[in-house]
Amino acid sequence: MMGAERKSMVMSEKEKRNPAYHESGHAIVGRLMPEHDPVYKVSIIPRGRALGVTMFLPEEDKYSHSKRYLISSICSLFGGRIAEELTLGFDGVTTGASNDIERATTLARNMVTRWGLSEKLGPLQYDTDSEEPFLGRSAGQAHTVYSPETAQRIDEEVRNIIDECYETAKRILVDNREKLDMMAEALMKYET
């Protein structure tokens, strides 16, 4: 699922520490958030371009997601970066969370612009990416159907969702620091 194991990549104990905390952060936040899919597997065996992976597996097929589920997902995406922050300090945080940040931001923006899950902006669709590019504009050209003020309100609402999720995930990991340390130690020892 994540590509072949990179057996040629041998990581020192020090190098294993960060991915171990990062993946533990995802798993613990995901486990403790409501309506989140259960943790299926956590590994710090490098595969593909990733130094580790936390996999969640739904107990049943899902065809739509609640706002609570989406918030839980965003929180768990930030769990890895926050675990790095707690162990390495803000200046020690790595680029390892870049995909997590991208995915969290995309979810938050979709909640506001596509799925009508913003209380402040209501059940309106602001996303215009799905429109046909053949209707008088080129494919690379940005197209909005709302004012700059609405664009600012959208950005503010996305920022609010991100900030609330970040703080929720941070509170969970601070309150469960002992579990975070224990899980990271186990991952450094067993790798999966």
* Blockwise average pLDDT, block size 10, the chain, 192 residues: 53 79 94 91 77 84 92 97 95 90 97 95 80 54 76 96 98 98 90 80
Per-domain residue ranges for the chain?
13-190
Structure token pair of residue 184: 């990271």
Task: Give the C-alpha separation, 191 to 52, whole Å.
Answer: 9
Rounded to two decimals, the pTM is 0.84
CATH of 13-190, one of 3.40.640.10, 1.20.58.760, 3.30.300.30, 3.30.470.20: 1.20.58.760
pLDDT for 146 equals 85
Three-state SS for 42?
Answer: strand
Provide the pLDDT for residue 128: 66
For residue 126, the model assigns a pLDDT of 87
Residue 170 CA from chain centroid, whole number? 13
Residues with active-site annotation: 23
